[in-house]
């Protein structure tokens, strides 16, 4: 009898947690486990702002997938671009560009999310995101390049444009990115004596009326005061009306000379969820408390891709797309796949949110662990302690801790790698959002397979 084929899509928090639990709980030879991911690492996404600011090296937050003690999973190097639930086939574009078809008996969809964009003129071509390791490395190179060019330029107008930076999005990613990078450019003044401190300006823009509303009014106001106290201009109730290569127009009519627009205004589920017919809620697949996609045999969805009911809150609440939920959902999905195989009852996913941590760089932070509001060094200790403990391998923990100590002692370096110096850097380039098939294309593809077979 053929062994069941389990396919996990995505190597984020949810996908990796699922694979690790499958490897631990399944007997050797009980099932075939495959993981689809373009990279052989799990990205620790919450620390990307520290990569962009140079506090951490890229390798520090790229946790190897091949350091598992029971590494029995076949890693398929590519991205899932379509799923046919009826034929039970996942269409994969390998990193070579080759299209392959992966049959499955059980599929766990954890493809993560992509940057949410709107129909704003010039946005996609002129904004940089902060969703991938390559984007974080590019943003760092780009910001340092602006300092280098401005330092060498005799043109005051060009210098003003090069030294003005705009971050859109007042959530965790945008706030931490603006805070960490602003700290770098402020520290750069010692290394760039020709730069005028008054010309270096950071803007944080968000259409919402509050900064990080999940923190609550008190801590949100504290974070706002910290940012403004450091010279960051925070504009709430405002967004981008138009983006150009050398200026940004805000919805309140202001035109800012700017060569650096960083877009972190939310995320949407991976386009993979639109490649087959299933019910969605706010772009995420509707699933049961057991993480099953209704009406589709053998399919589970979780993390950013699944609208998982939040049983602790009740009602119509769904779990927020956070790392702590994703990891626990991954373990629950693995248990339920195994239970389905062994014809046992399935578990419902239930977890109470443990709180939030926001690292603003240096000694600045705000945190709310288990409902306790903290700020300053205590909040920083909690934030970094949480991130450090959540890293999956001891090697990653050692790298991150070493980088933190080195940065605290030696300060920042202003080195550009230059590996993407002359390449256009659009959101589509980094997140491959144009690679996905439509539902009709997937059905036609699998129908052709049947005919050939």
Report pLDDT digits (tens) over 183-203.
999 988 888 988 988 999 999
> Do residues 337 and 328 make contact, with C-beta atoms less than 8 angstroms apart?
no
At residue 110, does pLDDT exceed 60? yes
The residue-averaged pLDDT of 299-309 equals: 96
At residue 69, does pLDDT exceed 60? no
- Kindly report, as residue ranges, where domains of CATH 3.50.50.60 are found in the chain: 5-115+268-353
DSSP SS3 for 450:
helix
Q: Band the pLDDT of 264: cuts 50, 70, 90.
A: very high
At residue 247, does pLDDT exceed 90? yes
pLDDT tens, 395-421? 999 999 999 999 999 988 888 887 666
Helices 172-187 and 217-229, interaxial angle, to 10°? 20
Q: Which CATH code of 3.40.50.720, 3.10.290.20, 3.50.50.100, 3.90.930.60 fits the domain covering 123-265+412-430?
A: 3.50.50.100
Q: Which two tokens stand for residue 234?
A: 């925070």
Residue 254 pLDDT: 96
Phi, psi of 102 (to 5 degrees): -110, 110
> Do residues 43 and 61 make contact, with C-beta atoms less than 8 angstroms apart?
yes
> Do residues 445 and 87 make contact, with C-beta atoms less than 8 angstroms apart?
no
The residue-averaged pLDDT of 421-449 equals: 79
- Kindly report, as residue ranges, where domains of CATH 3.50.50.100 are found in the chain: 123-265+412-430
pLDDT tens, 324-344? 999 999 999 999 999 999 999
The residue-averaged pLDDT of 217-225 equals: 92
- Return the DSSP state at 113: E
pLDDT tens, 271-295? 999 999 999 999 999 999 999 999 9
Taking the C-alpha atoms of residue 391 and residue 380, their distance in angstroms, rounded to an integer, is 17
What's the angle, vertex CA 309, arms to CA 329 and CA 173, rounded to 5?
65
Distance of CA 307 to the CA centre of its chain: 17
Domain spanning 5-115+268-353: which superfamily? FAD/NAD(P)-binding domain (3.50.50.60)
Instruction: Tell me the whole-structure pTM to 2 decimals.
Output: 0.92
Nearest to 123 by CA among 267, 239, 273: 239
> Do residues 233 and 254 make contact, with C-beta atoms less than 8 angstroms apart?
no
Least confident of 24-38, 137-151, 418-432: 418-432
Distance of CA 115 to the CA centre of its chain: 8
At residue 392, does pLDDT exceed 70? yes
């Amino acid at each position: 009898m053929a062994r069941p084929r389990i396919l996990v899509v995505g190597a984020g928090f949810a996908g990796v947690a699922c694979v690790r639990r499958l490897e631990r709980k399944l007997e050797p030879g009980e099932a075939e486990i495959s993981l689809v991911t373009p990279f052989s690492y799990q990205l620790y996404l919450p620390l990307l702002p520290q990569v962009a600011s140079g506090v951490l090296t890229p390798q520090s937050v790229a946790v190897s997938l091949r350091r598992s003690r029971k590494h029995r999973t076949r890693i398929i190097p590519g991205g899932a671009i379509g799923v046919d639930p009826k034929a039970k086939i996942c269409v994969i574009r390998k990193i070579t560009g080759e299209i392959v078809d992966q049959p499955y008996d059980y599929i766990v969809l954890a493809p993560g999310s992509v940057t949410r964009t709107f129909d704003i003129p010039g946005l996609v071509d002129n904004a940089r995101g902060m969703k991938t390791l390559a984007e974080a490395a590019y943003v760092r190179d780009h910001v340092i390049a602006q300092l280098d060019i401005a330092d060498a330029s005799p043109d005051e107008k060009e210098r003003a444009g090069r030294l003005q930076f705009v971050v859109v999005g007042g959530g965790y990613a945008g706030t931490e990115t603006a805070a960490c990078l602003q700290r770098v450019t402020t520290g750069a003044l010692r290394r760039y004596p020709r730069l005028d401190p008054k010309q270096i300006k950071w803007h944080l823009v968000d259409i919402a009326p509050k900064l990080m509303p999940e923190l609550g009014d008190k801590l949100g106001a504290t974070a706002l005061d910290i940012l403004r106290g450091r010279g960051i201009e925070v504009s709430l109730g405002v967004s981008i009306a138009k983006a150009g290569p050398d200026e940004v127009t805000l919805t309140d009519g202001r035109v800012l000379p700017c060569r650096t627009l960083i877009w972190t205004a939310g995320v949407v589920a991976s386009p993979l969820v639109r490649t087959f017919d299933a019910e969605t809620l706010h772009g995420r697949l509707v699933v049961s408390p057991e993480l099953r996609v209704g009406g589709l045999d053998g399919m589970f969805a979780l993390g950013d891709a699944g609208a998982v009911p939040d049983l602790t809150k009740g009602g119509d609440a769904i779990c927020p797309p956070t790392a702590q939920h994703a990891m626990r959902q991954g373990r629950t999905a693995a248990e339920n796949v195994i239970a389905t195989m062994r014809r046992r009852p399935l578990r419902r996913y239930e977890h109470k949110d443990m709180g939030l941590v926001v690292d603003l760089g240096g000694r600045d932070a705000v945190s709310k662990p288990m409902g306790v509001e903290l700020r300053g060094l205590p909040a920083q200790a909690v934030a970094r302690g949480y991130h450090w403990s959540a890293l999956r391998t001891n090697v990653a923990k050692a790298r991150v801790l070493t980088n933190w100590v080195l940065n605290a002692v030696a300060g920042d370096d202003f080195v550009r790698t230059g590996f993407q110096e002359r390449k256009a850097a659009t959101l589509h380039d980094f997140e491959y959002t144009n690679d996905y098939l439509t539902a009709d294309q997937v059905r036609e593809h699998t129908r052709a397979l049947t005919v050939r077979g």
